[in-house]
Amino acid sequence: MHEIETRTIEGFADTRLAIHCMGEPGGRPLVLLHGLFSSAHVNWVKYGNAQLLVDAGFTLYMPDLRAHGESEAPHDPRAYPEDVLVEDLKSTIAELELRDYDLGGFSLGSRTAARGVLAGLKPRRLILAGMGLSGLAGWARRSAHFVDAIDRFGSIERGDPAFVAQAFMKTMKIDREAARLLLGSVDDTAPGELVKITMPTLCVCGGDDFDNGNARELAEALPDGHYAQTPGNHMSSVTFKDMGRAMAEFLLS
């Protein structure tokens, strides 16, 4: 496995953000954003997809979102304004001095990547993984599910719809106060806004993953959308290298 170098930058409100870099300096830059309650390591590195992309010639920049992984998790509500993750992403791109790069995300990372493009970022190609059309527009409902899991943390029993979220938060040692604040900062993306995402975009999703709606519908709604199905559901799809292979094939095509 290629060695991972971790550097830190300052995001919005001087929040320290960790960025994990992997690959040769001359590789094509690819920024990858992880999902809610996860981390760059769990989402991209642990199951081999980061290595697969490095082997395909990419240099990866994988931030831990604020309130996740090795990044800071402030408890001040002022550190979580509307679209703060987009502001952090813009700071990351600027700090890394990236001008010709690709951008991808999984779940919450996909929401952030899409909104980053709408806010003016211009990656050559875009990847929205674990995301469907209704997922971008229906964040309020999805967010309420996770807020409920935070509020009932420790009392949710197996069989409850929130049990998986509780278990993942326990595994990842999530700072629940910071996560609750972060959830309130994420905005919906109306279907009508998707016409502004003009670069080639891959919507890749596990065949049993409908947590964020239908990925094929999202691909069809985009001006230059492409769809790829890989194995797994929302929790397991990142554990299959099929996702990394689909991403590499799209980015190199």
CATH number of the CATH domain containing 194: 3.40.50.1820
pLDDT of residue 1: 65
Q: Give the span between the Cα atoms of 174 and 238, in whole angstroms.
A: 19
Inside any domain, residue 99: yes
Structural domain count of the chain? 1
Inside any domain, residue 149: no
Nearest to 211 by CA among 135, 137, 156, 155: 135
Length of the chain: 253
DSSP 225-239: EEEEEESS-TTTGGG
Alpha-carbon dihedral sign for residues 86, 88, 89, 95: positive
Inside any domain, residue 33: yes
CB 80 within 8 A of CB 71: no
Q: Give the span between the Cα atoms of 224 and 219, in whole angstroms.
A: 8
Q: Give the span between the Cα atoms of 186 and 75, in whole angstroms.
A: 16
Tally of CB atoms within 10 A around 196:
11
Inside any domain, residue 36: yes
CB 109 within 8 A of CB 122: no
Inside any domain, residue 164: no
Span 113-159, pLDDT tens digits: 999 999 999 999 999 999 999 999 988 888 999 999 999 999 999 99
Span 198-213, pLDDT tens digits: 999 999 999 999 999 9
Inside any domain, residue 206: yes
Confidence at 86, pLDDT banded by 50, 70, 90: very high
Confidence at 25, pLDDT banded by 50, 70, 90: confident
Q: What is the pTM of this model?
A: 0.97
For residue 180 the two structure tokens come to: 């609750």
Helix (H, G, I), strand (E, B) or coil at 63: strand
Tell me which residue range forms the domain holding 96. Answer: 4-137+190-252
Span 63-74, pLDDT tens digits: 999 999 999 999
Mean of pLDDT values over 84-113: 97
Inside any domain, residue 245: yes
Strands (E), the chain: 4-10, 16-22, 28-33, 58-63, 102-106, 126-129, 201-206, 225-230
Inside any domain, residue 153: no
